[in-house]
Amino acid sequence: MSVDALDARILGLFAAEPRVGVLEASRRLGVARGTVQARLDRLQRDGVVRGWGPDIDTTAIGYPVTAFATLQIEQGSGHTTVAAALARIPEVLEVHTITGAEDLWCRIVARSNADLQRVIDQVVTVQGIQRASTVIALAEQIPHRVLPLVEAATKN
């Protein structure tokens, strides 16, 4: 599992200033370039770093409404089948199976509250879904972050 303090500093730097190159990073961190390069290769190889994709703001592309929906599915329907159908709806950004009375949890976005109704209709139309319960996210108090956790992980 393998993340130490230097890994955390590397990840932190690249998270803060993704544009810096390996060379510049090595200067900032006070280590050799080869070291940074090797660490990055290892982190990627071990799957710690899944990718470097652009973080896209859904609000900026016209989907300012975020909502969380929990779904109950019919006993006969497989979770995977339902999830595959949900995957065809672009406004569904994330789906997990969960414990508890409900079966699936999803994050969905929409252009407006009215548009959210349209998206939910699409969701509940999916074969095998019995009931959907939706709450709207009003404000993002803590945006998705992992760095503090990386920090914590080094201190084992």
Interacting residue ranges for DNA, rule: CB under 7 A: 6, 19, 21-24, 30-35, 37-39
Q: Does 114 bind a copy of itself (CB under 8 A)?
A: no
> CA-CA distances (angstroms) from residue 10 to 13, 47, 130?
5, 15, 46
Stretch of 25-33, 39-47, 120-128 lying at the interface with a copy of itself (CB under 8 A): 39-47
CB 117 within 8 A of CB 55: no
CB closer to DNA, 15 vs 136 = 15
- Closest CB 109 distance from DNA, rounded Å: 26
Minimum distance, C-beta of residue 40 to a copy of itself, in the bound complex (Å):
9
SS3 70: strand
What CA–CA distance (Å, rounded) separates 86 from 91? 9
Task: Identify what 13 binds: DNA, a copy of itself, none; CB under 5 to 8 Å per kind.
Answer: none
Under the binding rule (CB under 8 A), the answer on residue 6 touching a copy of itself is no
Q: Is 1 in the site for a copy of itself (CB under 8 A)?
A: yes
Report in angstroms how near the CB of residue 30 gets to a copy of itself at its nearest.
Answer: 20
Instruction: Give which of 41, 52, 57, 30 is closest to 2, Cα–Cα.
Output: 41
* CA–CA gap between residue 99 and residue 96 (Å, rounded): 10
Using CB under 8 A, list all residues that contact a copy of itself: 1-3, 11, 14-16, 18-19, 43, 46-58, 60-63, 66, 68, 79-80, 83, 86-87, 90-100, 102, 104-107, 109, 135-146, 148-153
